[in-house]
Amino acid sequence: MGTRMNVRYDSDGDMLELWWKNDPGYYTATSDDRVEVQLDSEGNVQGFLIWGLSNTESSISVELPPQVLAEGT
């Protein structure tokens, strides 16, 4: 069975949240200042926050660590 991805848009905060795990963790910055990545206590990616989505005129591109790509296959 595949991994379920959850998606939520908060119109007040103008943010899109995507997550596939809900373990305790923290958010950290990425190479794109509009995107934060959610990590669990072991440093595994479990979701993303995208800020200012309604004002985004260009594509958003964030490089994922190799272990995230391997988990999706």
- Please give the order of strands across the beta sheet that includes 35-40: 6-10, 15-19, 45-51, 35-40, 25-29
Q: Are 14 and 51 in contact (CB under 8 A)?
A: yes
8-33 pLDDT per residue, tens:
999 999 999 999 988 899 999 988 88
Q: Would you place residue 67 in the very low, low, confident or very high pLDDT band (cuts 50, 70, 90)?
A: low
28-57 pLDDT per residue, tens:
998 888 999 999 988 888 999 999 988 877
Question: Could you tell me whether strands 6-10 and 25-29 are parallel, antiparallel, or unpaired per DSSP bridges?
Answer: unpaired
Residue 73's beta-bridge partner residues? none
- For residue 59, is pLDDT > 80? no
